[in-house]
Every structure is written in C-alpha cells, then in structure tokens.
Chain A
C-alpha cells in the first residue's frame, strides 16, 4: 500500500512540477508540458497518423523479429550441436557480435533503399545475434551426461534434438526473444531515423525538425506503449509454452 503511495507522490509530483514549472522554472520551448503532450497525442490519434505510422513501425519490427529470430534459432542449434563447425566459426561470430549493428544502417540504405525492407533487414540483423547467441549457449549447455544417458537408451541424434535439446533450449530462446523485443523496435526506429518518410521514427524526426517538442514527447509515449505491449505478448506466449516454469515460480521457496 505504502509503495503505491510513494509511487503516486513521486510520479504526481514530477508531472505537477513539469506542468507548472514550464515557462517559469525552465524553458517550455525545450521541454513542453504534459497538457500540450496530451493534446498532441490526441491530435495524432484523431487524425489517424499515429496508427498509420505505428503500424508501419510494428510491421518492420515484427518482420525483422521473425526473420532474425528464425535464422538465429536455426544457426544456434546447428552450430551448437556441431562442435567442429561451432569452433571454426567462433571468431567470426565474435567479430560480428562486437560490431554495433546500427552502424550497418547506412550500408543497408545503399543496398535496400529507404523503404521498409532496409528497416526489416536492420532489425533482423540485431535480433539474429541476440537469439543466436542465447540459443547457442543453451544448446551448448545441454548436459553431455544426459546425452550419453539417452544414447544408452538407444536415442538417435534426432531423438536427442527433439526430446532434450529443443525443449531445454526453449528457456534460452525466450530469454533471447524477450531481450530482442526492445531491440527490434530500436532497429526499426533507428532505421526510420536514418532515412524514411513513414513510421514512428519518421514522426519523431519530423516533429523534432519542426521544433515541436510536444510532438516528440507524444511519439515517445507511443513508442513506450508499443514496447510494453510487445513485451507482454512475449511473456504471455512464454508462459503458455513453458508451464513447468510456472510451477517453479509458484512453488514455495526452499533450497
């Protein structure tokens, strides 16, 4: 109860200060004020622009997310189960992993133009590495003892893959997917910031270009809402796919 009270006081105080400090304590031009932001948000929604641009960004993020995670999953399993190949490609992967993928944006503009494809590729590249690395770690983490025990039971590589590797990797994959959600949006939005004429990133840079601070904040609010919705979706799917984790979470703590 008191937690909520503290929260209310801090958040309420912050917004009150913002609302009434604007124009007196600090310059409204740079910081806008909550009422103006709400107004902008309303305008954006009423005109339908918000939904149009959000849909574009969402499509880019989801398409990139789907391609990137599928490729990451596949690569993680193949390299994780194939020791020689994994070892051979390890340094190359490390190099690519160290590279900030955003830096590839301009290159992708040259290759794919400023349309939706370029954002999808950028997002997919970012998501690929997150999912790949988590999957790879998960596959590598499968107990060799367990694999040996299963071979004694007569298991083939396919049995091992379907009955042990894939299920035990699910946890890792979901960690990768959950991490990827915000990055997928970052990929799409940064892609739009680099070059675009649609999407939330475009809305953001457009408002900033016109020194419309309220518009910038309104777009940021929209981005936050979208991220939270996506996160909630992944969490929901995760819970449906891994019911045994729920049992673990609700179990009384004992060591």
Chain B
C-alpha cells in the first residue's frame, strides 16, 4: 500500500477529460457522453482489509469512440469495465450510461475477456448462436445471422467444428462473433489479445478495430500493453498505480483508418508511446529512459 504514495494524486496528471474527448469526437453526438464516469471510486473488502482499487475517476466516452485504458496491473482497469457492465456497484460516484446511472446488469454492452469463455460442448456455430437463443430468435433467423457473423470474423468453413479443433486466434474470432451476435452498442474488452503471439495479435487488433469502426461500436479496450493502447485508441486513458486514478487522457492523432503494421515508423506513434512509457515507468527507471 505504501508504494501508491509515490504516484501523484489525481490533480497532477489528470487533464480536463471533457476537453480531451471533445476534440476527437468521431461523429457529432451533440457533446453528450455515452458513458460517463463521474467521480467513480471502488473499494473492495471491509475494515482494515479495505483495498481501494480505483478512485476519483472522471471520464467521458463518446458514442462511436475507441477508448483504450492502460495502466499497471491491479490499478482497477477491469473494475472500470465491470462498473460499466453493472456487475460491480460503485463505492463512490457513479457510472452514467446514456444519461442514466448504471444500477443493474447493463444489457447494452458486450464483454470480452482474456479467456474466451466459449462453451466447449457446443460447436462454433452454436457458440455464436448462444445470445440469439437467449433472445428466443426463430431458428431460421439464427442460422442466417450466424452465417453472416462467421463470414464477418473469417471463420468460414469452421461452423461445424468443436472448439478443441480451433487455434487460439480462431477461438478469439468465435468469441468476437458471439459478442457481435446480439449487437450491443458498446464493447468492453479486457485484455482480449494478451494471450496471443505478436503476429496473430496484430491481425486480431486490426480486425477488431476495423470491425468496430465499420459497425459504429463504442469500445472500451483495457490493456496493460502501452503499444497496443496507443495503436488502437482514438483516445488512451492512462491510469496510475493502485489506487487507480486518471493520470492523463491522451488524444491519439493517428488516422482513423490507420495501418497497425506500419505504425512503428510513425513519428507521432513513437513519440506518444515514449510519453506513456515515461508516465508509467517507476521513477528510477524513467530517468534512464525506456527500459523494456
């Protein structure tokens, strides 16, 4: 708990979040945020064992925005997503979704986590059909929609396979198709690609970004990988160590249809990642520059 002290209070690093997001609004959503964290804080446990996971979070997410959240592990990134989903109630403040505080399970969002949580006893097509079955859609409608989705995520020819026959990347595609099946307006992604190898990861990152832009999804994408955070985000929220507070909200000035494979040589990308590395590195390391 002591080492939390070494990081600044929220008043130092935090920029005016409304200002930061306004400039990157992808479509004119009449400056009304789709998701608003308003002085949000979450503690776990009671009494002496209380863990302050995150506190004093103020953040606006506009409709259609791809927002990445980066920070050291344990700083409350997953907690933020859980709060948007309505799975964890806030200790302080609130999360406002479409103008109303989130109280119960928020059905307008879809969740993807690091482990894909597919059902091993179902084949690929049946896995993707799960949310549609829950909505009691007619069989024919389900079949048609599942077919579309399988094409959309590039799983053609695997609809009749069991998951044990798929590679890691294909399982991710399957999980992505499943979450897209019920067409939630917001996607919450919690380090979905951290278990993939570098090549596959960049492929999946490209596809997810392109798909989400094309489908007009609002995305909250959590990662502990700074490069990923900058590469994917329209804006990137940098959190401090626990208790997590917003250190900085970075507007990523890269084109919306950026090519992720070419980013490494983009000066703005390099500069921005360096900046975040410096922000997140422990002070002693920060002085020596970037140490991987």
Q: Which residues of A contact B (CB under 8 A)?
A: 143, 145-146, 148-155, 159, 163-164, 167-168, 170, 242, 244, 247-248, 251
Contacts and interface: CB of A to CB of B under 8 A. Distances in A.
A153 B117 contact: no
Contacts of A159: 134
B91 interface: no
Contacts, number: 63
Size class of the B contact interface (CB-based, 8 Å) = 20 to 34
A251 B111 contact: no
A244 B134 contact: no
Interface string B114-132: 0101011110000000110
B119 A164 contact: yes
Interface string B152-168: 00000000001111000
A148 B110 CA distance: 10
Given A148-B85, A148-B87, A154 B121 contact: no
A163 B110 CA distance: 18
B107 A242 contact: no
B254 to A, nearest CB: 30
B107 A244 contact: no
B103 to A, nearest CB: 14
A167 B121 contact: yes
Interface of B: 85, 87, 105-107, 109-111, 113, 115, 117, 119-122, 130-131, 133-135, 162-165, 182, 184
Nearest to A151: B105
Contact of A150 (B134, B162, B165): B134
Contacts of A143: 117
A247 B165 contact: yes
A87 to B, nearest CB: 18
A153 B87 contact: no
13 contacts: A145-B115, A148-B85, A151-B105, A152-B105, A152-B111, A152-B184, A153-B131, A153-B135, A163-B133, A168-B119, A168-B121, A247-B162, A248-B120
B135 to A, nearest CB: 6
Nearest to A164: B119
Secondary structure of the A side of the interface? Answer: helix
A176 to B, nearest CB: 17
A153 B119 contact: no
Contacts of B165: 247, 251
Contacts of A151: 87, 105
Given A163-B119, A168-B121, A154 B164 contact: no
B202 to A, nearest CB: 23
A155 B136 CA distance: 10
Contacts of B117: 143, 145-146, 149
Nearest to A160: B134
Contact of B182 (A153, A244, A251): A153
B164 A152 contact: no
A149 B165 CA distance: 23
A154 B111 CA distance: 12
A247 B166 CA distance: 11
Contacts of B119: 163-164, 167-168
* Most chain A beta-carbon neighbours within 10 Å: one of B107, B122, B134, B135: B134
A238 to B, nearest CB: 13
Contacts of A170: 121
Contacts of B133: 163
A134 B111 CA distance: 30
A154 B85 contact: no
Contacts of A242: 121
Shortest 8 CB-CB distances between A and B: which pairs? A153-B131, A146-B117, A247-B162, A248-B164, A151-B105, A167-B121, A244-B162, A244-B121
A163 B106 CA distance: 21
Contacts of B135: 153-154
A120 B87 CA distance: 46
A154 B107 contact: yes
B76 to A, nearest CB: 17
A168 B119 CA distance: 8
Contacts of B111: 148-149, 152
A153 to B, nearest CB: 4
B130 A153 contact: yes
A146 B106 CA distance: 15
Contact of A152 (B109, B120, B163): B109
A139 B45 CA distance: 25
